Amino acid sequence: MRSVRVLAVGAAPDPRPAVQTQATAPDAPPAPVKTREMASPGFHQALAAHQAVAPPRRTDPSIAQAVERQTAAMRALSLQAFPGPEPVADDAPAPIEQARIERRRQTDVSHAAAVRRARAERAAREAGTAAAVPQPTTLGRTA
């Protein structure tokens, strides 16, 4: 290398677009998915040799019993730490349903009060007596 030429940003010429070649024709059907059954005979021989040499998995009965005891103990501790919900009678609504019913009742009460106030204000406007309707109080600052 005899010289280095530094170009300004964007001054480099765009490289020529690569020629795109298609490996297969666009109308060619997709290749079938290879499975173990379709594998070569050499693969099947190697698999059989491996399975003949590899020892089968053996589970020690004492270890399996220890795992079962440990699992039972952990479930018991879990039930003590996180008891299940209290059983609810079939005719009683669930706690979530009770909360929804209470919110709905509060909404209905608020809606009824707003309707009564709107009717009273309309009647006062039509009668021309603003003193009959209580005026809203100004709110003080809370912050």
| pLDDT at 116 (0 to 100) | 92
| pLDDT at 139 (0 to 100) | 54
| pLDDT at 68 (0 to 100) | 93
| pLDDT at 128 (0 to 100) | 78
| pLDDT at 5 (0 to 100) | 83
pLDDT digits (tens, 9 = 90+) for 21-74: 555 556 777 888 888 888 899 999 998 999 888 777 778 889 989 999 999 999
Cβ density class 84-120: b for 16+ within 10 Å, e for less: eeeeeeeeeeeeeeeeeeeeeeeeeeeeeeeeeeeee
Q: What is the mean pLDDT of residues 9-20?
A: 65
pLDDT digits (tens, 9 = 90+) for 80-124: 888 877 666 666 666 777 788 888 889 998 999 999 999 988 888
pLDDT digits (tens, 9 = 90+) for 59-92: 888 998 999 999 999 999 988 888 877 666 666 6
Given a cut of 60, is residue 143 above it in pLDDT?
Answer: no
* DSSP codes of every residue in the chain: -----PPPTT-SPPPPPPPP--SS-TTSPPPPPP-GGGS-HHHHHHHHHHHHHSPPP---HHHHHHHHHHHHHHHHHHHHHSPPPPP--TTSPPHHHHHHHHHHHHHHHHHHHHHHHHHHHHHHHHHT-GGGSPPPPPPPP--
Please report which confidence band the pLDDT of residue 9 belongs to, taking 50, 70 and 90 as the band edges. confident
